[in-house]
Amino acid sequence: MRVHIATDHAGLELSAHLITALSAKGYEMVDHGPTEYDAEDDYPSFCINAALAVVADQKAGVDALGIVLGGSGNGEQIAANKVAGIRAALAWNLSTATLAREHNDANVVAVGGRQHSVEEATEIIEAFLAEPFSNAERHVRRIAKIATYETTGEVVA
């Protein structure tokens, strides 16, 4: 699986750790930045580029997911969710990580680097990456309604 990763300055150390740890587990890691610490960096471009790459890979049939990191993960999740086709979920424990994939077919996980130890964050992200979408009819139906709104502006009852 290809994994696109982006961060802000607050998640830079966690990002470096994840790139090494997940590469060792066989994931193809693609780093969308930043490459160096800058407390004044503007994370939206990094996260949007990672999200765009996830969508492009998935449209091309590549098995791909994304990770966006920040101090809380909130802003990074918001930025990623502005990309059509992205369902970014903020995960703060194993349950929210696995349910994001199982029920929502989330294709990007957001994690707050200042909210967890490196070990906890790694465990949350690994759980997200390993969990398959359930393909349960009710979840497929709900995701389709979200996609309809995203592409047409129509709210389906």
The active-site residue, picked from 4, 32, 76, 116, is: 76
The active-site residue, picked from 9, 13, 102, 103, is: 103
* 34 upstream amide cis, omega within 30 of 0: yes
Question: Is 76 in the active site?
Answer: yes
Q: Which helix (H) or strand (E) holds 93?
A: none
Question: 4 - beta bridge partners?
Answer: 30, 66
Distances (CA, A) of 72 to 3, 11, 38, 86: 20, 9, 17, 19
Task: Give catalytic residue positions.
Answer: 76, 103
